[in-house]
Amino acid sequence: MSIDLAKIHSVIFSGGGSRCLWQAGFWQVLKKTGRFEPTIIGSTSAGTTMACMLLAGKTGEALSYFKEETSKNKKNAYFSNIFNSKPVFPHYRIYRQAIMEVFDEQALKRLRTGPEIRVMIARPPRWLGARSGSFIGIALYSIEKLIKYPVHPTFGIKFGYRPLVVRVSECKTVEDLADLLLQASCTPPFVPVLYRGGRPALDGGLIDNVPVSLADESAGMNLVLLSRQYPTEILPIVPNRLYVQPSRPVSISKWDYTSPEGLQEAYDFGLDDGEKFLKNSSVKADRIRTA
């Protein structure tokens, strides 16, 4: 198969928490070819943070910061905090603090003037409360993955969950960006229930963790960056859509905030798979430039 990177118009970043660093490494390799200039980015959950990190030119800084913070965090759950006012799960604090520390006004300017980043957030049915909507949405997603293991789940939509699409260019401040990235990753109890426009805003993965509906497939090829490994035979075959996935399972779990080594390994794994992709796919590309 021969792939012309210059014809890739849209890129989809799936969710997957810490595993999404594989996507960042993979993207960096393609970017160095000088031929990879997508126009539309579709994303949800942690894939949105990866997309923003990459397009703002903050990859190295963000990875270093997150590794430093996770090296100081010893547990993913502090159950003794049930008896005091401190949070049981440290994820929200670390996640938001990382965004606020790494992104700045210059980064926001790059995000506004670069490729359009479309973000999927899930809205629960109006007849559900915020917490019940979170619980039922996560349950539906988990049950469908257990029964069918689809690339694109459908239970959430059938039950009444609806997508809200927000563009990163709408963010006027770093605080706005942090709000959006956390809303797109809102998966209680790791992240508390969040609201946008007065209504619950949940992880878009409750609708589709691989939000291909955000792409503009009529304008060119759509590259889909997964964060987990699926059986090859269940990957959809769609004209002008190419799914790429890790060549083996990414070792770090999506909500593991205790392993800086695991974060680096996921990123390095993406670099390695990206190099193999270029080599094995006979990609038409300019000479790969060094960083």
H helices of the chain, in order, are 21-31, 45-55, 59-72, 91-102, 105-113, 130-147, 155-159, 174-184, 205-208, 260-280
Model pLDDT, residue 19: 98
Q: Could you tell me which of 217, 243, 223 has the C-alpha nearest to residue 232?
A: 243
Query: What amino acid is encoded at 208 in this protein?
Result: D
Distance CA 27, CA 142 (A): 28
Query: What amino acid is encoded at 246 in this protein?
Result: P
> Are the CB atoms for 88 and 127 separated by under 8 Å?
no
SS3 269: helix
- pLDDT digits (tens), the chain, 291 positions: 578 899 999 999 999 999 999 999 999 999 999 999 999 999 999 999 999 999 999 999 999 999 999 999 999 999 999 999 899 999 999 999 999 999 999 999 999 999 999 999 999 998 988 888 888 998 998 899 888 888 999 999 999 999 999 999 999 999 999 999 999 999 988 999 999 999 999 999 999 999 999 998 777 899 999 999 999 999 999 999 999 999 999 999 999 999 999 999 999 999 999 999 998 875 554 433 333
Model pLDDT, residue 283: 57
Q: Could you tell me which of 93, 221, 115, 211 has the C-alpha nearest to residue 157?
A: 211
Model pLDDT, residue 145: 87
Model pLDDT, residue 289: 36
> Are the CB atoms for 284 and 4 separated by under 8 Å?
yes
Query: What amino acid is encoded at 159 in this protein?
Result: F
